[in-house]
Structure 1
Amino acid sequence: MASDARSAGRPTALLSELFDHRLITSVRHAVARLAGRAGLAGQRLDDFVLAVNEMMTNVVRHAGGSGVLTLWLQDQTLLCEVADEGPGIPAAQIDGHLLPSPFALNGRGLWLAHRLCDNVTITTGPRGTRVHLTIALSH
Structure 2
Amino acid sequence: MAEEDPLAPNKVPPLGLPVLVAEAFDGAHVTGLRHAVASYAEESGLAGQRLDDFVLAVNELITNAVRHGGGRGWLRLWREDSTVRCEVSDTGEGIATDQLGNRTRPAPDTAGGRGLWLARQLSDDLVVLTGARGTTVRISTAVAPANQERADWPMPYGDLS
TM range (shorter): over 0.9
2:12 to 4, 19, 38: 4
The alpha carbon displacement at 1:5 in A equals 2.8
Which residue of structure 1 lines up, in the alignment, with residue 96 of structure 2?
90
Task: Indicate the residue corresponding to 1:59 in structure 2.
Answer: 65
Paired AA for residue 4 in structure 1: V
Change (3 A) 1:26 1:108: same
Q: Which amino acid aligns with 1:123?
A: L
How do residues 25-104 of structure 1 correspond to structure 2 at under 5 angstroms?
25-104=31-110
SS of residue paired to 1:135: strand
2: CA distance, partners of 1:89 / 1:63: 9
The AA in structure 2 aligned to 1:14 is L
Count of aligned positions: 137
Distance in 2 separating the partners of 1:51 and 1:23: 16
Equivalent-residue separation in structure 2 for 1:115 and 1:69 (angstroms): 20
Structure having the larger proportion of residues in helix:
1
Verify: 1:123 aligned to 2:112, yes or no.
Answer: no
Name 1:20's counterpart in structure 2: 26
1:96-130: per-residue Cα shift (whole Å, max 9, x none)? 51111111110001111111100000000000110
- Secondary structure of 1:4's counterpart equals coil
Instruction: Kindly provide the CA deviation profile for residues 9-66 of structure 1, in whole angstroms up to 9, marking residues without a partner as x.
Output: 4722110011111000000000000000011000000000000000001011111100
Which runs of 5 or more structure 1 residues have no equivalent in the other structure? Answer: none
Structure 2 residue aligned with 1:135, among 136, 141, 155?
A: 141
TM-score by length of 2: 0.81
Q: Alignment partner of 1:23: what SS?
A: helix
What is the root-mean-square deviation in Å for CA atoms of aligned residues? 1.4
TM-score (norm 1): 0.93
The residue type paired with residue 72 of structure 1 is: W
Secondary structure of residue in 1 paired with 2:27: coil
Q: 1:77 to 1:21 in 2, by over 3 A?
A: same
Identity across matched positions, percent? 48
> How far apart, in 2, do the equivalents of 1:93 and 1:55 lie?
15
Unaligned runs of 5+ in 2: 1-8, 145-152, 154-161
**C-alpha distance in 1, partners of 2:118/2:102?**
8
